[in-house]
Amino acid sequence: MRPFAATDLLKNGLRKNTGTARRARAFCAAVLSMATTASATDPVTAAKTAIAANESISGMARAGRGLIEVPRQLAQCFRLPLGLAELLFSPLPDVDFKQGLKDTGKGVIAPFKLCIATLEMPYEVYSGLDAAATGVVK
């Protein structure tokens, strides 16, 4: 099963030659071109818009990672009851005791990671959008 694009962004970031990076650049270019006036533009303005879109990708990716992390950690909290159920039903044929221990361990840690992600989210989003607006990546 193919992981979600959000998972790709979290694991790999936006590398230059990946499909996710190309889609993100195309999306940013479309958004920035729509943000300009509806009148006809000269090629120089279009080129500057494309360059600005290309420079703002990493900042927008950082803001996106900050937003994605909170629901991801919230979903990880459900591993605790899943792991306990796997431990309880481990005598059944298709239920693994070892996987139940792993899920229980990740589920115990998940609320703490959720708190950290929630506290870091405003800073990550603000810094990412600031970097996207100014074109300066920190």
pLDDT per residue over 36-60, tens digit each? 555 556 777 777 777 777 777 777 8
Tokens 């708190």 map to which residue? 115
Domain ranges of the chain: 5-134
The number of C-alpha atoms within 13 Å of 112 and in the hemisphere containing its C-beta is: 5
Nearest-angstrom CA–CA distance, 1 and 64? 23
pTM: 0.58
Block residue for tokens 């840690």: 109
Q: What is the pLDDT of residue 111?
A: 94
What pLDDT sits at residue 74? 93
pLDDT at 73: 93
Q: Which amino acid is at 109?
A: I
Residue ranges of the chain with per-residue pLDDT less than 70 = 1-18, 20-21, 28-41, 135-138
The whole-number pLDDT of residue 1 equals 42
